[in-house]
């Protein structure tokens, strides 16, 4: 077994971009910045243009960067103007490249320049604390991290981000409900190294409060999430609110496990090929049920909201039909195809079920039970406890039948999000057991979803299978 120091030294080459990658990204960022600046010089509504996010902070991961550029508006400009002008500038700056609108609190333009994702985001140029839109804190985050993290700490941030990514815990968006890049930075700043962050996480108490500045007791008192991480530039914002309790729990287990048994595997992402091969030998494949469907494109966070809501309700309905859903998750290419993934304890139930009725003494209850079950029952009898029993055939004894009815719209209370129901009904396909291999052809996003359900937690529990 390699020592922790050894692993951490090797980790650097996995997370730190090479000089040529840095130079390539720098060129794209500077070109974009001067283009956006050129488009704003004559605009009196705009005060400045600034590079932000992990690129500006120097905390981006090798092979995985998005360039965030902020167009800062004077605080007296109406929100609608900020949105319209912000979008117009973003679109012009990215003319000639693939670009599209995305939505956070307000819309912004995302584009791809030579394979690199770039975001042009409008925000207000406000004094600290006088936020007018959710994006206004971001330049302050950049400033805080740039002035508080040296190169050593930036590398530590990169290692932490990678660790979280491999564990499926990276990203604050609804899809993941995990740790954002900024949270990773705040944690490293607070604890001083990747290792110290893991040590702290290993012994997080329930309701642990993490803050960089002196804590304001009144503020902390009113927050109740499994872990409270106060934003150093805004003590009223709890960064921990975006992280799901499951993800915090996984992080605690992963941290303990890595410290106990440090392995480079914790910092290496599984490729699609790795996941496929793992699935080929997994006994769990027989218990997988997938439903895949096509849909129109929509705002990513809205799509994930609809998928998660539908997933939750479908699991409830499957449970009601007598099956056990051990775990579930949704998956999507975030454009046109998505799917629901269920890991069941069994794909089938016995064909017959016994209904235990009332005791024979109450004539009224007994006759009601008989009336209700007479036509369907294959057999009726009484037992020594003097209760009537009826053996009936299940309507659905395969989980796939249940899911087919739920998605096919034959059952009104399925709980599938109304915004997706029709598209699901028109296009869904169900795959079970080894047919899952057919479903994943050309759908690497689905394989990643399966990975989340079946394999991603293996590092939390110290075994590989």
Q: Which of these segments, 12-20, 133-141, 274-282, 308-316, binds ligand CTP (CB under 6 A)?
A: 133-141
Which of 60, 108, 144, 258 touches ligand CTP (CB under 6 A)?
Answer: 60
Which of 138, 177, 310, 311 touches ligand CTP (CB under 6 A)?
Answer: 138
Which CB atom, from 180 or from 432, has the smaller least distance to ligand CTP? 180
Q: Which of these segments, 60-68, 81-89, 212-220, 295-303, binds ligand CTP (CB under 6 A)?
A: 60-68
> Rule CB under 5 A: is residue 64 a binding residue for Mg ion?
no
In the 8-state DSSP scheme, what is residue 334? S
Burial 376-406 (b: 16+ CB within 10 A, else e): ebeebeeeeeeebbbebeeebbbbbebbebb
Q: How far apart are CA 125 and CA 139, in angstroms?
A: 9
Q: Which of these segments, 10-18, 177-185, 282-290, 382-390, binds ligand CTP (CB under 6 A)?
A: 177-185
Q: How far apart are CA 185 and CA 188, in angstroms?
A: 5
Q: From residue 222 to residue 261, what is the string marking binding to ligand CTP with x (rule CB under 6 A)? A: --------------------x-------------------
Which of 181, 232, 240, 449 touches ligand CTP (CB under 6 A)?
Answer: 181
For residue 102, give the H/E element and its range: strand 98-103
> Rule CB under 6 A: is residue 54 a binding residue for ligand CTP?
yes
Q: Which of Mg ion, ligand CTP, none binds 141 (CB below 5-8 Å, type-dependent)?
A: ligand CTP
> Rule CB under 5 A: is residue 176 a binding residue for Mg ion?
no
> Rule CB under 6 A: is residue 68 a binding residue for ligand CTP?
yes
The distance of closest approach from Cβ of residue 75 to ligand CTP in the complex, given in angstroms and rounded to an integer, is: 19
> Rule CB under 6 A: is residue 180 a binding residue for ligand CTP?
yes
Q: Alpha carbon 347 to chain centroid distance?
A: 27
**Angle ∠(5,10,15) on CA atoms, nearest 5:** 120
Question: Strand pairing of 227-231 and 208-210?
Answer: parallel
The distance of closest approach from Cβ of residue 243 to ligand CTP in the complex, given in angstroms and rounded to an integer, is: 10
How many residues bind to ligand CTP according to rule CB under 6 A?
Answer: 14
Q: How far apart are CA 263 and CA 14, in angstroms?
A: 13
Number of other CB atoms surrounding residue 27 within 10 Å: 12
Q: How far apart are CA 156 and CA 164, in angstroms?
A: 12
Which of 182, 258, 323, 431 touches ligand CTP (CB under 6 A)?
Answer: 182
Which CB atom, from 68 or from 125, has the smaller least distance to Mg ion? 68
Q: From residue 332 to residue 361, what is the string marking binding to Mg ion with x (rule CB under 5 A)? A: ------------------------------
HSE (side-chain half, CA atoms, 13 Å) at 104:
17
Q: Which of these segments, 25-33, 176-184, 265-273, 447-455, binds ligand CTP (CB under 6 A)?
A: 176-184
Q: Which strands make up the sheet holding 208-210, listed edge to edge?
A: 208-210, 227-231, 234-238
For residue 90, give the H/E element and its range: helix 79-93
Which of 72, 141, 165, 295 touches ligand CTP (CB under 6 A)?
Answer: 141
> Rule CB under 6 A: is residue 17 a binding residue for ligand CTP?
no
Structure tokens at 32: 């974009």
Q: Are 330 and 449 in contact (CB under 8 A)?
A: yes
Burial 422-454 (b: 16+ CB within 10 A, else e): eebeeebebbbeeebeebbeebbbbbbbbbbbb
Q: Which of these segments, 175-183, 245-253, 341-349, 391-399, binds ligand CTP (CB under 6 A)?
A: 175-183
> Rule CB under 6 A: is residue 66 a binding residue for ligand CTP?
yes
Q: Are 57 and 142 in contact (CB under 8 A)?
A: yes
List contacts with ligand CTP (CB under 6 A).
52-54, 60, 66, 68, 137-138, 141, 172, 180-182, 242
């Amino acid at each position: 077994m390699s020592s922790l120091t050894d692993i951490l030294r090797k980790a650097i080459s996995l997370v730190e971009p090479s000089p040529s990658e840095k130079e390539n990204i720098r060129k794209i960022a500077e070109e974009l910045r001067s283009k956006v600046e050129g488009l704003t010089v004559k605009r009196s509504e705009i005060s400045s243009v600034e590079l932000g996010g992990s690129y500006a902070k120097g905390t981006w991961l090798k092979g995985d960067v998005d360039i965030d550029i902020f167009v800062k508006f004077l605080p007296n400009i109406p929100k609608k103007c900020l949105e319209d002008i912000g979008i117009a500038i973003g679109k012009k700056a990215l003319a000639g490249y693939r670009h599209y609108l995305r939505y956070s609190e307000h819309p912004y333009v995302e584009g791809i320049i030579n394979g690199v994702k770039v975001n042009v985001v409008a925000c207000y140029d406000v004094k600290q604390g006088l936020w007018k839109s959710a994006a206004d804190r971001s330049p302050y985050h950049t400033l805080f991290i740039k002035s508080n993290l040296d190169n050593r700490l930036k590398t530590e941030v990169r290692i932490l981000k990678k660790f979280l990514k491999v564990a499926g815990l990276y990203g604050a968006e609804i899809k993941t409900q995990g740790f954002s890049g900024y949270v990773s930075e705040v944690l490293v700043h607070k604890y001083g190294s990747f290792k110290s962050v893991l040590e702290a996480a290993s012994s997080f108490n329930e309701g642990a409060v993490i803050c960089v500045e002196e804590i304001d007791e009144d503020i902390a008192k009113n927050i109740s999430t499994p872990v409270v991480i106060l934003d150093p530039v805004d003590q009223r914002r709890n960064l921990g609110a975006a992280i799901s309790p499951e993800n915090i729990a996984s992080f605690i287990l992963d941290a303990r496990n890595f410290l106990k048994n440090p392995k480079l595997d914790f910092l290496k992402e599984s490729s699609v090929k790795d996941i496929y091969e793992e699935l080929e030998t997994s006994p769990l494949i027989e218990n997988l049920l997938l439903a895949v469907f096509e849909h129109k494109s929509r705002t990513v966070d809205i799509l994930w909201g609809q998928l998660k809501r539908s997933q939750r309700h479908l699991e409830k309905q499957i449970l009601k039909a007598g099956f056990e859903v051990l775990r579930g998750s949704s998956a999507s290419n975030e454009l046109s195809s998505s799917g629901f993934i269920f890991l069941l304890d069994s794909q089938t139930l016995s064909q017959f079920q016994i209904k235990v009725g009332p005791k024979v003494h109450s004539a009224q209850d007994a006759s009601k039970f008989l009336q209700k079950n007479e036509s369907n029952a294959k057999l009726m009898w009484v037992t020594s406890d003097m209760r009537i029993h009826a053996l009936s055939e299940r309507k659905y004894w395969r989980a796939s039948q249940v899911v087919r009815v739920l998605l096919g719209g034959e059952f009104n209370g399925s709980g599938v999000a109304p915004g997706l129901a029709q598209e699901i009904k028109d296009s869904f396909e169900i795959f079970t057991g080894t047919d899952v291999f057919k479903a994943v052809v050309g759908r690497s996003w689905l394989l990643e979803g399966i990975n989340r359900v079946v394999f991603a937690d293996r590092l939390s529990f110290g075994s590989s299978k």
